[in-house]
Structures are given as C-alpha cells and as structure tokens.
Amino acid sequence: MNEDALVRVEGLSKTFDLSPSWLSRLLRGGAKQRLHAVDEVSFEIPRGTTLALVGESGCGKSTLARLLVGLHEPSRGRALFDGQDVHQTLGGADAGPLRQRVQMIFQDPFASLDPRWTVGQIITEPLIEQKILAPGASLEQRLQELLAVVGLSASDAKRFPHQFSGGQRQRISIARALASEPDFLVCDEPTSALDVSVQAQVLNLMRDLQRQRGLTYLFISHNLAVVRYVSDAVGVMYLGRLVEWAPRARLFSDPQHPYTRMLLDAIPKLRNTGQARTPVQGEVPDPLNPPSGCAFNPRCPHANDRCRTERPLLQGTPAGRVACHAVAEGRIGVS
C-alpha cells in the first residue's frame, strides 16, 4: 500500500434505484431495478500524479468522479482523501478545508458557468463563499493572479461567459477551480467539447499547473490518445468495474485485458492510413441487465464457460492489475 497516496478509493460502489414506484409495482407488477453504476472500485492516486479513467459511455467513470467530490453518496465502500473519509467529512462540521482542497472541472464549459455573472464574480465566488483569502491580500489582486495563471487578461474579469470561446471558458473553469488552492482536481472530460488546437492549449496548461503546484488529477476521458499524453497511470472501466489498472507506459505498450486491447485497436490511427482494423464486435450491454460472469464476455474473443459464470476479480500482475480469467490462466498470449 502506497503511503504517499493522496486519494485512496476502497471498494467504492454506487447503486441507483431505478425501480418503478411502490404503487405501480403493486398494480402492474415488475421487479425492483438497480443500476450498479460503480461496482467495487479500488485504486490509489499518489500525490502529484494523474490517474486517468477511460471507458465508453455508461461505464461509470463520471459517477465515480462525482463520488470522489461528494456529489453522490456511496452505496458501499469509501473514498479517502489524505486519510479522511470524503463522504463523512463533507457531511460533518469541518467540511470547509476538504471542500477547498478538492475541486472539479466539468466537460461542458457552456453549462458550468453562470451566464449572468461576470468572469470576475465566477472566479472569486469560492474565495468569498469559503472565506479563504490570505490575510493582507485583496480580492482583486488574487483575481488578477488567477486570470494570469490560466492565460487570460486582466480586462477579461469584467466580461461575461458568452463573450468567450469554448477554450477560454474552460480556462475560466480552471481558474475558478484553482481559486481555493486545491490539491486535487477531478476533471471530467475537460477537453472533450473543445477543438483539437484548443484542446492542446488546455492540456498544456493543465500539465504546467501540475508541475508548478504539485496538483493531483483524476482525469476522466474517453479519448485514449489524450490519456496517453496526460496520465501517469490509467484505469480502464467497463460496466461499472475497473477491469485493468496499469502505469501509463505499460498500458499502452502491453495492454492485458481484452477490452483494453479492443479499445486501443478501435482508435483510428493517423500513421497507418488505409489499413483495416480488427473489427470490434457487439456493443456495451444493458447495464440494468448485465451479463453473468465477466461483463465483457459476450464481446470477448477469449471467453469460455468460466468467464460466463464466474466474475473475475482484479488481480495484481507484475506490471499492474487486471480482472480477466483468460489473462490469469495464461490463455491470452502476449500481444
């Protein structure tokens, strides 16, 4: 167990109850329905590093992000931030320091900024709300510092969000997140809504900020190429479960889980133009009605009877952790 982990997630689960109401169940029949959005996920993020979580829509990566910042209540398990239980602390009397130290950046910079507030108001709100101005510093001064950090000009403070492009808005979101001097930023698809040239600007900015301030990131993305650029370690999720975790270099050079291999294979490559890829079979199954055993088994070329009945657990390998019977039994050759 890593002593220097800033964030530690232990058996974290989130179940949503999607059942029809009690009365309609009584009248029309029908069973309770539970969606296991996040199921028994455990990992650690060492201080000053980036863990990227990847997976397709509905794999639970955004739910996990929300659990970590306290926007959802966990059904089971816990998330520890610097040794403190996130959910307990946020519900308790001394939630303030934790709120300051954990911040989130959202995907859509058009939806996450109040259109009726000026940029200055948006960025300074956390400072005023949480009363965290360093003694002697003026609010205005701090605002100017924050604008400069994210590459906006001082005069931008008086403008409104609609006067900015998507990339600039995401810079405003980052400035707001940085206002309380956080240690840990949860970034949910921060560049997915941006054009590639703007994405490069924002990714470079995030990397610079991490180096200067020793920030720890949880970076959620569906784009493996972006993940390769930003991360130190990568977790791959499928239907609410972590199916593989590995240091970045190892994940990309030697993916283990068949789903990880499939994802890497599915990305259109710039370098081998015109070459046909291995076709990927099937789709993500209905999360309300997941397959028995390994959730990936209907799409997996290596699935056997054991995969269809027994759910594989995340097991340590020399270079990471993987939840796959075929890997554990040595049925899949090294790619």
Partner 1 sequence: MSLLEVKDLVVEFPSRRGVLRALDGISFTIEKGEILGVVGESGAGKSLTGAAIIGLLDPPGRIASGQIRLNGERIDQLPEAALRSIRGRRIGAVFQDPLASLDPLYSVGAQLIETIRTHLPLDPNAARLRAIALLEETGIPAASQRIDHFPHQFSGGMRQRVVIALALAAEPQLIIADEPTTALDVSIQAQVIGLLKRICRDRGAAVMLITHDMGVIAETCDRVAVMYAGRIVEVGPVQDVIHSPAHPYTAGLMACIPDLETDRERLAQIEGAMPRLDAIPNGCAFHPRCPRALPRCAVDRPELLAGGATQAACWLLAS
Which residues make up the interface to partner 1 (CB under 8 A)?
56-57, 165-168, 195-201, 203-204, 207, 222-226, 228-229, 252, 262-264, 266-271, 273-277, 279-280, 283-284
Which is closer to partner 1, CB of 5 or CB of 64?
64
Give all strands of the β-sheet with 84-85 in edge-to-edge order: 34-46, 5-17, 76-81, 84-85
Beta carbon of residue 162, minimum distance to partner 1 (angstroms, whole number): 13
Which is closer to partner 1, CB of 56 or CB of 82?
56
Beta carbon of residue 239, minimum distance to partner 1 (angstroms, whole number): 13
Q: Strand 216-221 vs strand 184-188: parallel, antiparallel, or unpaired?
A: parallel
Per-residue exposure over 192-227, b if at least 16 CB sit within 10 Å of its own CB, e if not? ebbeeebbebbbebbeebbeeeebbbbbbbbebebb
Interatomic CA distance for residues 72 and 57, integer angstroms = 18
Beta carbon of residue 144, minimum distance to partner 1 (angstroms, whole number): 22
Which is closer to partner 1, CB of 13 or CB of 297?
297
Q: Strand 76-81 vs strand 216-221: parallel, antiparallel, or unpaired?
A: unpaired
Indicate the residue type of 307: C
Beta carbon of residue 18, minimum distance to partner 1 (angstroms, whole number): 16
Assigned token pair, 242 = 């972590």
Looking up tokens 């784009």 gives 223
Interatomic CA distance for residues 103 and 313, integer angstroms = 31
Assigned token pair, 215 = 């920030």
Beta carbon of residue 29, minimum distance to partner 1 (angstroms, whole number): 21
- Return the C-alpha torsion angle 187, 258, 254, 59, nearest 10: 0
Which is closer to partner 1, CB of 138 or CB of 253?
253
Dihedral over Cα of 13, 47, 245, 191: its sign = positive
Q: What are phi and psi of 328, to 5 degrees?
A: -60, -35
Beta carbon of residue 88, minimum distance to partner 1 (angstroms, whole number): 35
Element at 90 (helix H, strand E): helix 86-91
Which is closer to partner 1, CB of 170 or CB of 180?
170
Q: Is 258 exposed, middle or buried (0-12, 13-18, 19+ CB in 10 A)?
A: buried
Region of 206 please: left (phi>0), alpha (psi -120 to 50) or beta.
alpha
Residues 6 or more apart in contact with residue 266 via CB below 8 angstroms: 277, 280
Which is closer to partner 1, CB of 21 or CB of 273?
273
Which is closer to partner 1, CB of 6 or CB of 113?
113
Beta carbon of residue 200, minimum distance to partner 1 (angstroms, whole number): 4
Which is closer to partner 1, CB of 13 or CB of 49?
49
Beta carbon of residue 267, minimum distance to partner 1 (angstroms, whole number): 6
